[in-house]
Amino acid sequence: DSKTAVFQIDGEDSAHNGIEVILTADRRAFISPDQFEVLNIDLFSRDIVVVKLGYLFPELRDIAPRSIMALSPGVSNEDIENLPFNRVRRPIYPLDRDFVWSPSRYALR
């Protein structure tokens, strides 16, 4: 599609050659091997595949020997301790950890 481009990056040494970067003009989650195949990218021939997702979808999970989550700011951010909560009564866990909390005080009876 015309809103997607695949760039080949060639580094100065062999360790940095063969890197392909997919850029899209609109927000798009690459959640299926089919999306890569349309771009003539065979996931099974790659040593490493990086996708910017907060969740590894089942079709990719099935072919990934392992996954590593890297937290980064973006449309959604799973690093809730660093989000700017302005309308929440403090202290509150897990945003604040330096307070004593007694669950029995808040339990329904």
Q: 39 with 6: CB under 8 angstroms? A: yes
Residue 36: pLDDT band with limits 50, 70, 90:
very high
Which pLDDT score, from 0 to 100, does residue 107 have? 66
Look at the alpha carbons of 79, 83, 87, 89 in this order and tell me if their dihedral is positive or negative: positive
Q: 80: Cβ–Cβ under 8 A, 6 or more apart, which residues?
A: 94, 95
Which pLDDT score, from 0 to 100, does residue 92 have? 84
pLDDT digits 0-9 by tens, 52-102: 876 778 898 888 888 888 777 776 777 888 788 889 888 888 888 888 877
Q: Output phi, psi for 62, to 5 deg.
A: -65, -30
Q: 64 with 32: CB under 8 angstroms? A: no
- Decide if pLDDT at 106 tops 60: yes
